[in-house]
Structure 1
């Protein structure tokens, strides 16, 4: 099995994990807010030191590719691409929403017919979301959705749907269907990238390091400060 350095920076949580032979051998997380630029390099250095100590070859770098925070994604992807260039290693892109589903699948006992709806906050009543089955097949593709009482009704009428992620909390008062279930405290983490990253490595599904960009889903919109400095 490969040794993979996993990087996740799509939300306010920054995390790095080193995996080998299907096991996470190093994991570091920062939940204190969007300080990715100041902590990510240190986390990576610690992971590389652990790889040296345990004599683990780093065969690839995997990065959470979005959707998510524009700034966070750029920081993580830029760091991952730089490492791949410097080490001459392949780059693996992992869907942020899919890695959140993997966390719930592996950590919860849920019904076989349940569906999974990871949600990432996109401001106001909008979320980045998709709906997956147990085979991780998208029954609703990734999109930016404005949530109201009719959101996802067609699938909710026939399945239990589990909603989770930092966008799910604000939807509890809108999605009140009896088949809706909410799971708290699920955030995308590098330690949950393992299965998806190793699958891509086995399939030799790598990105073009020179041209790869994160999956922003929406264009970045810069705002002008109300109070001018000059």
Structure 2
């Protein structure tokens, strides 16, 4: 069982390869606007490194969003293209769910903080200005509040922080450091970076249950409609 995992929902262009459920190789590259030029290159590199031919893949897993409109389009298009060509199933994982899986695993390795029952976790993806895509989870990975787009203000989480410690992480959380710098119950964790590796647990569960997407009709989970803007150089006075 060889599964390719793709995550392009954020500025990180990431791919991972698992063989029989075990991570074989991965690439994480955090640089804006490289998904179109680097994604297929990284896939080729991983297959060569693992000595796996592309026609030996059993399934493709993709981070379905929310996240960058362009990034999601690229990742899902490549994933669907490989699935069509090889006639293998497509598995889609919510990006915030995957982030929570990865963060909880890394935090548990460092300390017992991730096991505190009164701690809630808030993965965040930047949606520009003071808006983020986010959800809230408890220490057992259960969803407390579902995925949503939220405009963040200083008192946005008071209803939770009055009773819980709240840990925010992800590229969307990084811009909130000043806003919550004096809030004793809210911690901004800046060391987190998205990775296709975090898709693995949910992907394996879905593969074993044969919970596959309809390749013809599957679309990324954008959460918000894409609103095109006019390039500044094209604006005339």
The TM-score normalised by the length of structure 2 is 0.90
Counterpart of 1:105? 104
Aligned mates of 1:81, 1:135 — CA distance in 2? 32
Deviation digits for residues 132-172 of structure 1 (CA, Å, limit 9, x no counterpart) = 11332221111111111111222212221110011112212
Q: Which blocks of at least 5 consecutive residues in structure 1 are unaligned?
A: none
Counterpart of 1:64? 63
Q: 1:179 to 1:131 in 2, by over 3 A?
A: same
Match of 2:208 among 202, 210, 213: 202
Q: 1:177 to 1:91 in 2, by over 3 A?
A: same
Counterpart of 2:175? 170
Aligned mates of 1:227, 1:129 — CA distance in 2? 33
2:149 is aligned with 1:150: no
Aligned mates of 1:134, 1:23 — CA distance in 2? 24
Counterpart of 1:183? 189
Aligned mates of 2:47, 2:66 — CA distance in 1? 27
Deviation digits for residues 52-111 of structure 1 (CA, Å, limit 9, x no counterpart) = 459994211000011110000000000000000011111000111111111111111323
Counterpart of 2:145? 140
Aligned mates of 1:51, 1:91 — CA distance in 2? 21
Q: 1:196 to 1:160 in 2, by over 3 A?
A: same
Q: 1:16 to 1:178 in 2, by over 3 A?
A: same
Counterpart of 2:23? 24
Match of 1:124 among 129, 133, 156: 129
Q: 1:87 to 1:56 in 2, by over 3 A?
A: closer
Q: Which blocks of at least 5 consecutive residues in structure 2 are unaligned?
A: none
Aligned mates of 2:2, 2:162 — CA distance in 1? 43
Aligned mates of 1:48, 1:141 — CA distance in 2? 35
Aligned mates of 1:81, 1:10 — CA distance in 2? 15
Aligned mates of 1:104, 1:127 — CA distance in 2? 18
For these two proteins, the number of residue pairs brought into alignment is 229
8 Å contact from structure 2 (residues 176, 188) kept in 1 = no
8 Å contact from structure 2 (residues 55, 86) kept in 1 = no
**Structure 1 or 2: more helix by fraction:** 2
Deviation above 3 Å: which 4+ runs of structure 1? 50-57
Q: Look up the SS of the partner of 2:9 in the other structure.
A: coil
